[in-house]
Structures are given as C-alpha cells and as structure tokens.
Amino acid sequence: MLSGQIGLVRNSTSWVGKVVEWATDSTSHHVVVAIGPDLCVSADLPRVIIRGHREFHSMEWSDFDLTPEQQEAVVASALSMVGRPYNVPAIVLLLLSKLTSVPIPRFAVQWLERNPGLDCSQLAHIAMRAGGLELFPHDASLTVPAHYEHLFRERGWLTKHL
C-alpha cells in the first residue's frame, strides 16, 4: 500500500523543475507523501495541497517497510501540513548557495526551521520523522529532492534510469 510512502518526481518538463535539478545536481525536482492509493500531499506554489498521483509526469515510489502505526503517523503528519504556505525563501537560499558556492549560514537555517512555509522535501522529511524514520542527518529545511534521489538509488527503488 502506498500510504506513507514517498514519491520522487524526476526529469522535469518545466523550467522551475529544471532549475531545482540544476541547483541540487540531480535528476529529481519534487517529492510528495502518499496518503492513499491515488492521492498525495504536495508542497506546490503557493501552498501545500492534496493532489492525485497521476498529475505528475513521472513518479518513483519508496518502499519503506512501514507498520500500520507508522503509515498512520506519516499520513496524519502530511495531512496536518495541508494549507501551509510554500517556503519560497528556502529555494532562494538554495539557489544563492549554488551560485556563490557558499553554504547556507546556520542562522538562516534556524530561521527557515521556524518559518511556517514548507517546500516539498521539508514536508516529506517532517512527515517521515513523525513516523519514526530519521532519513537524513541534517535539518529538514536543508533537505532537497536530490537527497531522496540518493536514498532511492541506495535502496534500489529507482526503476527508471532517465
């Protein structure tokens, strides 16, 4: 069952997605959290929304071995974030960091963590943490789709090599 799993969207067909892929040195630009067999929670401009899986041009799914309790916690967490604004400052800081080769300063990361906005990777990171899975050793606001792509590659979950 897909509930609680992470969907990874790769090989963007839009310029915004291409910029995200360039900025993160990956072929991935978006992640979502499955809340059922056909629906997911997605952080899109201007806010976090519920979308159908088939709205995406491509999707690779995680295969975490989640207990029913973990699935419920991940889904509940993702649903609790619906309606929150998109975290535009995180994308701006990511791009500035890429362009200048200067890491995002700690004070900016702390500010991003307090910001009510969410980007897609941050949403997935927080939802998975609610289910007891600590996937990455850094702050949720620093998580990008490339981190999920690397995780998916490590675990053999990428079925398409586009």
Total structural domains in the chain? 1
Task: Say if 1 falls within a structural domain.
Answer: no
> Quick one: average pLDDT of 53-60?
93
pLDDT digits (tens, 9 = 90+) for 89-105: 887 888 888 889 998 88
Domain span holding position 41: 6-155
Task: Say if 25 falls within a structural domain.
Answer: yes
User: Residue 57 sits in a domain of what CATH number?
Assistant: 3.90.1720.10
> Quick one: average pLDDT of 61-77?
97
Q: Which helix (H) or strand (E) holds 7?
A: strand 6-10
pLDDT digits (tens, 9 = 90+) for 123-161: 999 999 999 999 999 888 889 999 999 999 999 998 754
Q: What is the pTM of this model?
A: 0.90
pLDDT at 113: 78
Instruction: Show the DSSP H helices in the chain as ranges.
Output: 15-23, 68-80, 88-100, 106-114, 120-130, 145-155
Task: Say if 98 falls within a structural domain.
Answer: yes
Task: Say if 160 falls within a structural domain.
Answer: no
pLDDT at 110: 86
Task: Say if 161 falls within a structural domain.
Answer: no
> Quick one: average pLDDT of 53-69?
95
> Quick one: average pLDDT of 24-46?
94
**Mean per-residue pLDDT of the chain:** 91
> Quick one: average pLDDT of 19-23?
85
Instruction: Give the Cα separation of 92 and 83 in Å (integer).
Output: 21
> How large is the greatest C-alpha to C-alpha distance in the chain, in angstroms?
44
